[in-house]
Structure 1
Amino acid sequence: MKVQRMKLSEEGLNRFFGSLEAQIMEIVWGRGEVTIKEVQASLDEELSFNTVMTVLNRLSDKGHLKKTITGKGRNRLSSFQPVQSKEEFIQEQTRAVTEGLVHEYGPIVLNHLFNAVEQADPKLMDLLEARLEEWKRGKS
């Protein structure tokens, strides 16, 4: 599931989610399956049950969480599971962003990417070089 909006001014998961959504996703990814009360108890700040329930339901509606309801009436319990792992989510989002930028602004993006890799970490440049060599061998 592709995130509809990415916030460039934010960092980490806050680029893809609101800050409370990001905190909740971290909790769900860390535990695998959670109830509303478990999430509420795990948050740094005290929030109402209804606030946490609303955010979990919205994350479910957006396709990030799977909601399961068991029991009936007063014994009804909602639990939530991530649809994909944190790693899968990040992989999918970064791929979508990269493909979109390369499609729209190819040469500019490649130049900026090269400069960013060169400045960030020499090991990334080695990885880039290895991937290019692998690509060249496949083209032969």
Structure 2
Amino acid sequence: MKIQNFKFYEKGLNRFFGPLEAKVLEILWAKPGLSIKEVQQKLEQQEERLNFNTVMTVMNRLVTKGVLNKKLEGRASVYEPFDTKEHFLEMQSKEITHELLEDFGPLVVNHMLDALEEADPEMIEKLEQKIKALKKET
């Protein structure tokens, strides 16, 4: 699934979703299989007082976007993320990286390398291992 709107100046999940969508996803990643009412109650625990219809609209919008699955259990619909948070972020960051490389090529690589000056040594070590593995393949 490809998220259409990437917000450059936001942080975390808010780069891909609205703030309420991101909160709903965090709740469902922590505990999949909740109803709208249960998500609404969890949002209230976070001091987010929202109308049931607002929460329902947001959750159904996430179903339409392909991020949540909706299934009927008895008389209630329950929702769960289509993917794990880790896999979702992995796929989105991969997509963004490919698009940047396609559009800007060497400039992106240079800027990523410049950013490594601020990275921790473990990340640099992983990059070195990846480069060695790529060299062996060619």
TM-score bracket for the superposition, by shorter chain length: over 0.9
Q: CA separation in 1, counterparts of 2:87 and 2:126? A: 20
Which residue of the partner structure matches residue 39 of structure 2?
39
| CA apart distance, 1:20 | 0.3
- For residue 17 of structure 2, give the secondary structure of its aligned residue in structure 1: coil
Q: CA separation in 2, counterparts of 1:70 and 1:84? A: 20
CA contact (8 A) 1:67 1:79 kept: yes
Which residue of the partner structure matches residue 71 of structure 2?
68
Which residue of the partner structure matches residue 11 of structure 1?
11
Gaps spanning 5+ residues in structure 2: where?
A: none
Which residue of the partner structure matches residue 60 of structure 2?
57
- The TM-score normalised by the length of structure 2 is 0.94
> Structure 1: which 4+ aligned runs deviate by more than 3 Å?
none
Which residue of the partner structure matches residue 114 of structure 2?
115
Identity value in percent: 47
CA contact (8 A) 1:69 1:77 kept: yes
| CA apart distance, 1:100 | 0.3
Which residue of the partner structure matches residue 126 of structure 1?
125
| CA apart distance, 1:78 | 1.2
Which residue of the partner structure matches residue 85 of structure 2?
86
Count, aligned residues: 135
Q: CA separation in 1, counterparts of 2:87 and 2:36? A: 24
- For residue 105 of structure 2, give the secondary structure of its aligned residue in structure 1: helix
- The TM-score normalised by the length of structure 1 is 0.93
Which residue of the partner structure matches residue 26 of structure 2?
26
| CA apart distance, 1:53 | 0.5
Listed one character per residue, the Cα deviations across residues 109-139 of structure 1 (whole Å, up to 9, x for unaligned) are 0000001122222221111111111111121
CA-based RMSD of the aligned residues comes to 1.0
